[in-house]
Amino acid sequence: MIAGPALRVSARALRDNLTTLRERLTPAVLLMVEKDDAYGHGVAWATPLAARHGVGWFGSHDITTAVRVRAAAGPAPRVLSWATSGDDEIAAALTHGIDIGVGTMEYFRRVRALSRRTGHRARVHAKIDTGLHRNGLLAAEWADGIAEMLEAERSGDVRLVGVWSHIAEAGDAEDDAAAARFRRAVARARGMGARLEVTHLTASAASLARPELRGGLCRIGAFCYGIRAAGAPLEPGLTLVATLRAPVVAVDRHEATVGIGAWHGLPTTLGGIVDVGTPAGPRRLTAIGDDTLTVEAWPGCHAGDTVDVWGPGARGESDPTTLAESIDTIGEELATRLSPHVTRVAVD
Ligand SMILES: *Cc1c(COP(=O)(O)O)cnc(C)c1O
């Protein structure tokens, strides 16, 4: 019987990445993004490790994940969730002390109402739309919105603790314009009397490449896990945390078939050159099926051998971003779409 595919997650690599990121970001503070089950690595594994390593802020899109992060992190760290959510989820967030990102006044009013009803005062981060048009108060509604939030704060219903936005990381000029809109919104809120604990704008790529755009917090997902941005090498000091190790399930003279578990509908047309790691070193990936890969065979290759589909490079394999680029998606997609049936194995 051949063991199935496994995602091997390295505690040392995660800790080293967190050390590197915290050093690079200082004096800004790292907020570790853990949406999609910590980018497929497992919230229950990644969170306690990061919390013990001193990470004091975590974030997730959805509240369900944020509640799991809270359970794994303990009561001390801040946890932020930014998806516009239903009332039951908002109530759960408040009960578990989760900060809430709000991007519309309709959502803010629901959060305020639930704060009153549950008796747990919400900590709110107000989002300004800096040009992406994906959620966020428009500049024209900002002053009225902040005024309403500050009035709610005076009534004891909520605390306005942060102002934030998301930039496209699309190019310097566009990002500069977004950052300028962001700074105006922050200044306006402060001028109106907001006592903000934090401001945050940038994710992985811009946080490192454009330090001048950072707020006090940097929301970092991909780089914590060593997943590089498309079209760029990984920053020095970061390494890939996960290795996807899968068994050879069949061999013919020229090719080995590797069982990877389901990809959940990712493209299967391979448009670039990707190497995987084999016991004999790097070998070319030649085809992607629904739940298998086909790889050039190597001398002595047999069923039960293992192939590292991606990993930190020890056997010559590529990283998930390289594979993603060859099928026209991004590295995070591969990590997060990996079937939950793929065993997660924690290694040091
Ligand atoms: C996913 C996400 C991030 C993290 O992005 P990375 O590029 O993975 O670092 C930051 N902020 C928001 C709002 C996100 O949704």
**SS3 sequence, 91-113?**
HHHHHCCCEEEECCHHHHHHHHH
204 CA: nearest ligand 1 atom: 9
Reported as a single tens digit per residue, the pLDDT across 83-92 is 999 999 999 9
Under the banding of pLDDT at 50, 70 and 90, the label for residue 268 is confident
Identify the helix (H) or strand (E) that includes residue 278: strand 275-278
Q: What confidence score (pLDDT) does residue 264 get?
A: 67
Q: What confidence score (pLDDT) does residue 27 get?
A: 97
% of the chain at pLDDT higher than 90 = 85
Q: What confidence score (pLDDT) does residue 332 get?
A: 87
Q: Which of 29-33, 134-138, 166-170, 322-326 has the lowest mean pLDDT?
A: 166-170
Q: What confidence score (pLDDT) does residue 221 get?
A: 97
Under the banding of pLDDT at 50, 70 and 90, the label for residue 333 is confident
What mean pLDDT is predicted for residues 138-142? 97
**Ligand 1 center to 60 CA (angstroms):** 9
Handedness of CA 264, 268, 274, 276 (dihedral sign): positive
> Distance between CA atoms of 102 and 80, rounded to whole angstroms?
11
What mean pLDDT is predicted for residues 30-52? 97
- Among 219, 238, 336, residue to substitute to test ligand 1 (most atoms within 8 Å of Cβ): 219
3-state SS, residue 338: coil
> Distance between CA atoms of 69 and 81, rounded to whole angstroms?
10
Q: Which of 67-76, 194-203, 329-338 has the lowest mean pLDDT?
A: 329-338
Identify the helix (H) or strand (E) that includes residue 46: helix 43-52
Does pLDDT of 218 surpass 80? Answer: yes
- What backbone torsions phi and psi does residue 258 show, to the nearest 5 degrees? -115, 130
What mean pLDDT is predicted for residues 145-170? 95
128 bridge partner residues: 137
**Ligand 1 center to 64 CA (angstroms):** 17
CA atoms within 13 Å, Cβ hemisphere of 48: 5
What mean pLDDT is predicted for residues 305-325? 94
- Ligand 1 pocket by Cβ (under 6 Å): 33, 35, 61, 82, 166, 203-204, 219-223, 332
3-state SS, residue 249: strand
Does pLDDT of 51 surpass 70? Answer: yes
Report residue 136 CA to chain centroid gap.
20
> Distance between CA atoms of 267 and 274, rounded to whole angstroms?
15
Measured CA to CA in angstroms, residue 274 lies from 173, 300, 319 at distances of: 33, 22, 9
Instruction: Identify the residue whose tokens are 């500049």.
Output: 139
How many C-beta atoms surround the C-beta of residue 222 within 10 A?
Answer: 22
Does pLDDT of 341 surpass 90? Answer: no
% of the chain at pLDDT higher than 70 = 99
Reported as a single tens digit per residue, the pLDDT across 67-78 is 999 999 999 999
What mean pLDDT is predicted for residues 47-60? 98
**Ligand 1 center to 57 CA (angstroms):** 14
Measured CA to CA in angstroms, residue 253 lies from 87, 296, 299, 301, 306 at distances of: 59, 9, 9, 9, 17
Task: Decide if 239 contacts 313 (C-beta within 8 A).
Answer: no
Does pLDDT of 260 surpass 80? Answer: yes
**Ligand 1 center to 35 CA (angstroms):** 8
Q: What confidence score (pLDDT) does residue 136 get?
A: 97
**Tokens of residue 345, six digits:** 């194995």
Q: Give the type of residue at 6.
A: A
Q: What confidence score (pLDDT) does residue 291 get?
A: 86
Reported as a single tens digit per residue, the pLDDT across 6-21 is 999 999 999 999 999 9
pTM (2 d.p.): 0.96
Measured CA to CA in angstroms, residue 3 lies from 13, 50, 207, 247, 260 at distances of: 24, 30, 40, 7, 11
DSSP annotation of 290 reads S
